[in-house]
């Protein structure tokens, strides 16, 4: 099957231009929020905590803060990107064009993942002003960063297809994703929890993302790094299968 690269390019450029017009919301706002997290958690709480697994608390929370922003922004960018054409009715023009679901998905998800990746890099640069940030495995860090951006942009794309109003567009990120990130070891090590809650936390998928990403910085993790990488790949493939099914069946695409 021949891939329509021009169609992908048009969708991708349109989404990137839309992000540029809302630069403050897309980039500055999450960076300011991250800086405030450093002030509160890194300074106020960090001054009362010596180290966690040999890493200063201010450094320890950098991967968790980055993941918090990446997950929420990847979902928000991708979900709104596909929901807005549905809301305005312009989705029919895309569906009637000689463009496959794969090309539509790559255009929207590619733009959302790119914006999230840029955001992640900016957050890490911002963090370097607060702590002496060093990355033990830069290649693995970039791998986890890219896979997370792509997989959760795919998940956001699913939410955008599923949602039929703005309330549903926000309910999953606010009520499910954000709590999972906070309870996934973003600001603490799972080893600090009682045995029962350590076991419960292992069922939180976000734990594996945060743990693997943190390992790439400090070579410390709560779970096996290979398992973390595997969980991301499984989640990515599952999202691809769901999106394929939604386009083949037309689920909520024409509501």
Mind giving me the DSSP string for 71-137?
A: HHHHHHHHHHHHHHHHHHTTHHHHHHSS--HHHHHHHHHHHHHHHHHHHHHHHHHHHTTTS----S-
Cβ proximity of 85 and 157 under 8 Å: no
Cβ proximity of 90 and 11 under 8 Å: no
CA distance 127 to 203: 29
Cβ proximity of 8 and 108 under 8 Å: no
Residues 6+ apart with CB under 8 A from 46: 56, 57, 58, 61
3-state secondary structure of 50: coil
Residue 25 has pLDDT above 80, yes or no: no
Q: Summarize the confidence of residues 140-160 as an average pLDDT.
A: 95
Q: What is the pLDDT of residue 144?
A: 95
Q: What is the pLDDT of residue 47?
A: 65
Residue 157's pLDDT band, with cuts at 50, 70 and 90, is very high
Residue 1 has pLDDT above 70, yes or no: no
Closest CA to 78 of 120, 18, 122, 132: 18
Residue 255's pLDDT band, with cuts at 50, 70 and 90, is low
Residue 69 has pLDDT above 70, yes or no: yes
Closest CA to 218 of 146, 122, 132, 126: 132
Residue 239 has pLDDT above 90, yes or no: yes
Closest CA to 77 of 26, 12, 148, 126: 26
Residue 46 has pLDDT above 80, yes or no: no
Residue 99 has pLDDT above 90, yes or no: no
Residue 48 has pLDDT above 80, yes or no: no
Residue 21 has pLDDT above 80, yes or no: no
Q: What is the pLDDT of residue 247?
A: 85
């Amino acid at each position: 099957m021949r891939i329509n690269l021009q169609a992908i390019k048009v969708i991708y450029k349109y989404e990137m231009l839309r992000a540029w017009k809302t630069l403050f919301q897309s980039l500055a706002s999450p960076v300011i929020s991250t800086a405030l997290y450093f002030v509160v958690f890194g300074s106020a709480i960090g001054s009362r905590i010596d180290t966690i697994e040999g890493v200063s608390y201010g450094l320890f929370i950098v991967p968790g803060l980055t993941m918090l922003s990446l997950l929420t922004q990847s979902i928000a960018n991708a979900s709104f990107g596909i929901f807005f054409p549905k809301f305005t009715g312009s989705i029919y023009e895309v569906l009637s064009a000689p463009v496959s679901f794969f090309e539509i998905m790559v255009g929207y998800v590619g733009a959302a993942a790119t914006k999230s990746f840029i955001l992640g890099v900016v957050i890490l640069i911002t963090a370097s002003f607060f702590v002496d940030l060093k990355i033990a495995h830069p290649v693995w860090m970039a791998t986890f960063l890219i896979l997370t951006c792509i997989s959760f942009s795919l998940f956001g794309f699913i939410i955008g297809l599923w949602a039929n109003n703005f309330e549903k567009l926000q309910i999953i990120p606010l009520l499910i994703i954000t709590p999972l990130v906070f309870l996934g070891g973003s600001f603490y090590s799972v080893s600090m929890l009682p045995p029962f809650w350590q076991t419960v936390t292992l069922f939180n998928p976000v734990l594996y993302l945060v743990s693997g990403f943190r390992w790439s910085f400090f070579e410390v993790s709560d779970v096996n790094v290979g398992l973390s990488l595997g969980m991301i790949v499984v989640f990515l493939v599952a999202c691809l299968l769901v999106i394929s099914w939604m386009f083949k069946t037309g689920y909520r695409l024409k509501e």
